[in-house]
Amino acid sequence: MDERMIPYFSHEGDMARMERANKRLWIVILVLIAVLLGTNGAWIYYENSFTDEVTTEIEAEQETSEGSNYVVGGDYYGEAESQGDGN
């Protein structure tokens, strides 16, 4: 018998093992594609869960130099020493 010859039975066994391995690899590939799509969908859902906020500028004028008008973080904090009667 030639040393380079492989028995048919051994060759068929190897091919059957390779077919099973290839089938498992295809299953792994399909699972990984499904997981990739799922994580991308989760990121899209996460990014869309935030709301857009519009910031506007507020201008305030005073008749006197007393008191202060300023806006911090969208909230108005203003103080005046008089209550509109000029005192």
Q: Where are the domains of the chain?
A: 8-49+59-79
* pLDDT score recorded for residue 57: 77
Q: What is the value of pTM for the model shown?
A: 0.51
What pLDDT digit, counting tens, does each position of 60-86 carry?
A: 666 666 666 555 555 555 565 555 555
Smallest Cα–Cα separation from 74: which of 87, 60, 61, 55?
A: 55
The answer to whether 50 and 32 are in contact (CB under 8 A) is no
Give the N- to C-terminal CA distance of the chain in Å, as an integer: 119
